[in-house]
Each structure stands twice: as structure tokens, then as C-alpha cells.
Amino acid sequence: MENINNAGMPLLGDKMPEFNVQTTHGMKNFPVDYKGKWIVLFSHPGDFTPVCTTEFVAFARRNEEFKKLNTELVGLSIDQVFSHIKWVEWIEEKLQTKIPFPIIADDLGNVSKKLGMLHPGKGANTVRAVFIIDPEAKVRLIMYYPQEIGRQVDEILRSLKAMQVADANKVALPENWPNNELLKDQVIVPPAKDVDTAKKRLGDKNSYDWWFVYKSLK
């Protein structure tokens, strides 16, 4: 049964609400226009701010890596589209980095309020939120960072890769996969759900116990 969240912002497993939004690439019907693709939607507190600028450069320089994973990047803040356009021009001119993805101009705050990106205790700007949305438009991962701390884009990319591997192979992935201290790039087999399976796994060489079995995907 599909999870239905009536409390406001979508939770993990919920469908991403639909919005008609103005972006730097024109009007978009979000997430419908990205049907069949993964999406990384990320908000930033404001244009022409140092931390946000460093993040946008990092996202832009990894855009092709995201595209190889059938993933589109979409930025958002409550600035107007004119500000977004000028900021994108500044980044290209001053930092020699072209911003290839659209930025939503949520100047009325409607999207930000619905997605829980406005936190009263952190002022009137959007916090650094990240939503990873799958090809079925379901929310699969949510991250929140305070305004004063920049995100690590490589971790967002790693999380996306891990999620796709987990989906494709019906497995779980350890801390910092594929560079886990115990398992390296191996993956975790779903735990046994009956006594017979648990007993069979006790002698498995690729296990620490019946509930902790791992394998290689190679």
C-alpha cells in the first residue's frame, strides 16, 4: 500500500507533489517533465552567496556523472528568476563554469513551504535540502543541511549510485559503500526470515552470522 502523508512535506516513499514552476530553462511541470528519470532536487539559501556558489560549481562539474546515472539536477531558491539568471552568468564569467541544469524561481515560497525547505528558526531563506526522486516520482532520500554548512556533492552522487545498485540487486549497502572498512565494495544480503534459512547461513563463508551475510556483485 502506498504511503500517504497528510502532515505536509513528502516523506520517504511518498510521491513528490506536482508543481508548475518558473525556472531558468523556462516553465516546468515538476516532476512530470522528468518522467522515467531520477531527479536530484536541491535548494539553496540564496543567489550570490559564497557557500551556495561553491555548491553550484561542484554540481555543475559533476553534471555528466549524474546524467550517466539517468539523473537530472534541479536547483531551487526563493530568489526571482532574474536573480538566478544573473548569478548563473556571474558563475560562468568569473569561475569559468557553465550551470547546465535549471534553477526553480520559488519567489512566492509555495514549493519551499510544501517541501519543508523553510525553517522558521533559520530565517526566511530556504535551508540546504536535497531530495532524490526515482523514475516513479517517489521520494527516496532526503537530506537537510544548515545554511552555514556546504554539502558534499560526491556524497549525494555516492548515495544515488548506492540506491540504484540496491534497487537493481535487491540488496543493502554498508557504510560508505563501495569503500566500507569491513566489506569494501561487497553488498549485504537481506536477512533470513525463517529458521531453516538462518541455519543454512550459519556455515556461509561470506558471513559474520546468519543475520549478517554479504556477497560480491562482480
Say how far apart CA 213 and CA 175 lie, in whole Å: 15
Say how far apart CA 162 and CA 108 lie, in whole Å: 35
Say how far apart CA 95 and CA 105 lie, in whole Å: 22
Which grid cell sits at 121? 528558526
Instruction: Output Rg (C-alpha) for the chain, integer angstroms.
Output: 20
Active site residues: 52
Which grid cell sits at 23? 525556472
Say how far apart CA 40 and CA 130 lie, in whole Å: 7
Say how far apart CA 209 and CA 140 lie, in whole Å: 29
Judge whether 144 and 129 are in contact, CB under 8 Å: yes
Say how far apart CA 79 and CA 82 lie, in whole Å: 8
